[in-house]
Amino acid sequence: MKNIYTIFTLFLLFLAPINVSAQNINTNPFWEGEIILNDGTSQQGFIQVPNNPAQGKVLIKSTKNGKNKKVKKKDIQTIKLTSQSGTVYQFEPVKVVLTLKGNSSLGKSLLLISKENDYAKFYVSYGVYRVNKDGELYMLYRYMQGRDFPSLEYYIKKRDFEKARLFHETNLSRGFKKSANAYLKEDPALLKKINNNELNFKDIDEIIEMYLETTKNL
């Protein structure tokens, strides 16, 4: 079984602003997986692949032809799903903070884990989660009026963080250094490259890999 944190294709859908969660009925298939609950128990079976970060419930059934059971997002710790090709996808409901200062957040968002080690997790979020004809997960963007480009949001949650923090939004070039200096302090060598403009927001995937390598034993 392949254990790949995030393999997905990004597509653009040019639409006016709408409420994503209200306008998208989940038509994703059911994959084998496990839901780990906040009380430490787990439920295994066939789980419908989530279709957006705001959805409040997840469907699970014990067999392919079994009866659907709803599990509330607020009761879920982790959702682990395995695609037909063996790719593992993992979702977690997390509270997110959108600013460098402060700790205010709204309800939990169902985010897809991009990469992680025992010290930190990076999540991605935006638009709608869909399963393509090859049976893999991709993210369907909604083009929002007033933005030049659709945006993918990266969040970071360290072991001692109560909430995930917005690390970078791909349609924004400003503010990346501030965010990096706030959240990547454990890797001075990496920060030096960012502050010297050797690496920038366009290199975010490489930056995340380097940070996780540095912090893997913390």
pLDDT in tens, 124-165: 987 788 888 888 887 665 444 544 455 688 999 999 999 999
The pLDDT of residue 130:
86
Whether the predicted model's global pTM rises above the 0.75 cut: yes
Strand order in the sheet with 69-72: 69-72, 57-61, 42-48, 30-37, 76-82, 88-94, 109-116, 120-125, 153-158, 164-169, 96-97
pLDDT of residue 3 exceeding 50: no
- Cα(42)–Cα(25) distance, rounded to whole angstroms? 26
- Cα(211)–Cα(23) distance, rounded to whole angstroms? 37
CB neighbour class for 170 (10 Å; exposed up to 12, middle 13-18, buried from 19): middle
pLDDT in tens, 150-205: 568 899 999 999 999 999 987 666 789 999 999 999 999 999 999 999 999 999 99
Which residues pair with residue 33 across a beta bridge? 45, 81
Stronger pLDDT, 72 or 175, i.e. the higher one: 72
